[in-house]
Amino acid sequence: MAEFSLDLNEDQLQLQKWVHDFAEKTIRPAAHEWDEREETPWPIIEEAARIGLYSFDFISQAFLDQSGLLLPIASEELAWGDAGIGLAILGSTLGLAGIAGNGTPEQLLEWGPQCFGTPDKIQLAAFCVSEADAGSDVSSLRTRAVYDEAKDEWVLNGTKTWITNGGIADLHVVVASVDSELGARGQASFVVPPGTPGIAQGQKFKKMGIRASHTAEVVLDDCRVPGHCLLGGKEKLDERLARAREGKRSSSQAAMKTFEASRPAVGAQALGIARAAFEYSLDYAKERKAFGRAIIENQGIAFKLANMKTRIDASRLLVWRASWMGRNGKEFTSGEGSMSKLYAGETAVYVTEEAIQILGGYGYVREYPVERWHRDSKIFTIFEGTSEIQRLIIARAVSGVHVK
Ligand SMILES: Cc1cc2nc3c(=O)[nH]c(=O)nc-3n(C[C@H](O)[C@H](O)[C@H](O)COP(=O)(O)OP(=O)(O)OC[C@H]3O[C@@H](n4cnc5c(N)ncnc54)[C@H](O)[C@@H]3O)c2cc1C
């Protein structure tokens, strides 16, 4: 187990600088353009792949790092550059997390590299859980997976919605119900490999923020995948279903395992936006003069900045703690993963709104990045579990009461 330390070591500092440089030189200058275009920023993903940042190797190294801090550090820096482009680069990691959380080591080795492809042939991955009538309430998924024993194939049918990289991904990880009576405990995850017929993109959504990240429906129409695409394998699934039918508790719920692992890294992205807005508005408050003095000389402005910085630092502490706990097998007894995402997400919304206020009219127009940061921040109280759902998880964990 790694000791928890707030002093970053040489490797971590180097990585932070490497990702920061890429964010500063390549991502941030392109942020406005891709926000306006609302398209996947392929040239930037290609550049990230060329330097090794968009790759299975890099993400595996970050996942395996014993401190747990490499992924949140990289995520914060990418989102500091731009959260939409950052998510275009990090989106495949969610698909990978779905495989890592539920698959066998062999499945991870087979499918993990395919989530990213190579610099010459970039691939994307997506993690498909949400449906039109099942967002927070993951237990009521309607997508079905039926086993065709004669062919040793699973047949997937249903429509997923709000999927990051949905339909443009080469590899989709799909959570589906194999026994609807068991709710979330009757679900399993499947890899839909590149080139599989029966999977297609539905509607692409136009969004308020993170517009460089592609979000769309994914339609599964008699989509057949080989038996070995069931993550974790059939034997384990049958055992789990049998336990669930006997009413015994199971520790493995397909979607939840992935979200638990990914929440702190998502919190880190929110943190990156908040830091960007804080730095920008701090500089601005020192430069901007009103009534013959810099506006930061007014407590009304300086105290805003004090509050912003305090909440940003508190968010980072929560994110790093949860990341370290997750990597070192510590149980989240008080919903620490949820705390980190809840607090960082709400901090990003708060900080970016205060930043708009500090910039006045300049905060409200598209020539300046602050309004975009505010639009980008809002998603962090919605996806990967809304703020309400995070509070529910924390409340249940600390009270032992099944709060509804
Ligand atoms: C840009 C974007 C990208 C996304 N990417 C992905 C992805 O890659 N993969 C994926 O599977 N999903 C993805 N999602 C879906 C996202 O996770 C869901 O939108 C989210 O979980 C909320 O579900 P919902 O939209 O159905 O809202 P609902 O669940 O309908 O919630 C509506 C409101 O009711 C509240 N609420 C619901 N239940 C309770 C309760 N018990 N107590 C208190 N309040 C409650 C919610 O907090 C919310 O405020 C994405 C969404 C967006 C917008």
Question: Could you say which residues of the chain have pLDDT below 50?
Answer: none
Domain end residue (candidates: 115, 143, 170)? 115
* SS3 per residue for 173-238: EEEEECCHHHHHHHEEEEEECCCCCCEEEEEECCCCCCCCCCEEEEEEEEEEEEHHHECCCHHHHH
Can you give the pLDDT at residue 261? 67
**Are residues 87 and 158 both part of a single domain?**
no
108 and 164 share one domain: no
Residue 307 lies in a domain: yes
* Catalytic residue of the set 260, 336, 353, 384: 384
Do 69 and 94 have their domain in common? yes
What per-residue confidence (pLDDT) applies to 343?
98
Q: Are residues 241 and 139 in the same domain?
A: yes
Tell whether 275 is covered by a domain.
Answer: yes
38 and 111 belong to one structural domain = yes
Q: Quote the pLDDT of residue 250.
A: 59
Name the residue range of residue 214's domain. 125-245
d(C-alpha 52, C-alpha 73), whole Å: 16
Shortest-distance Cα residue to atom 11 of ligand 1? 129
Q: Are residues 283 and 382 in the same domain?
A: yes
Domain assignment of residue 266, yes or no: yes
Please report the pLDDT score of residue 262 as a whole number: 81
- pLDDT at site 260: 67
Q: Please give the distance, rounded to the nearest whole angstrom, from the Cα atom of residue 257 to the centre of ligand 1.
A: 17
* Angle ∠(378,101,160) on CA atoms, nearest 5: 55
Write out pLDDT tens, residues 239-283: 999 999 998 765 556 566 666 668 999 999 999 999 999 999 999
404 domain-assigned: no
**169 & 236 share domain:** yes
Residue from 386, 389, 402 to probe ligand 1 pocket by mutation (most atoms less than 8 Å from CB): 386
**Tell me, what CATH number does 387's domain have?**
1.20.140.10
- CATH code where residue 64 lies: 1.10.540.10
Q: What is the pLDDT of residue 247?
A: 83
Q: Which atom of ligand 1 is nearest to the CA of 205?
A: 1
Residue 384 annotated as catalytic = yes
308 and 181 in a common domain: no
Say how far apart CA 45 and CA 38 lie, in whole Å: 15
Number of domains in the chain: 3
pLDDT at 3: 84
Of the candidates 76, 67, 83, the one whose C-alpha atom is nearest the C-alpha of residue 12 is 67
- From CA 193, how far away is CA 220, in angstroms rounded? 13
- Residue to mutate, 189, 346, 382, 404, ligand 1, most ligand atoms under 8 Å from C-beta: 382
Whether 162 and 198 have beta carbons less than 8 Å apart is answered as: no
Q: Does ligand 1 lie within 6 Å of residue 133's CB atom? A: no
Please tell me if the CB atom of residue 124 comes closer than 6 angstroms to any atom of ligand 1: no
Question: 15 and 78 in one domain?
Answer: yes
Looking at the domain assignment, is residue 96 inside a domain? yes
C-beta 388 within 6 A of ligand 1: yes
- In short, whether 259's Cβ falls inside 6 Å of ligand 1 is no
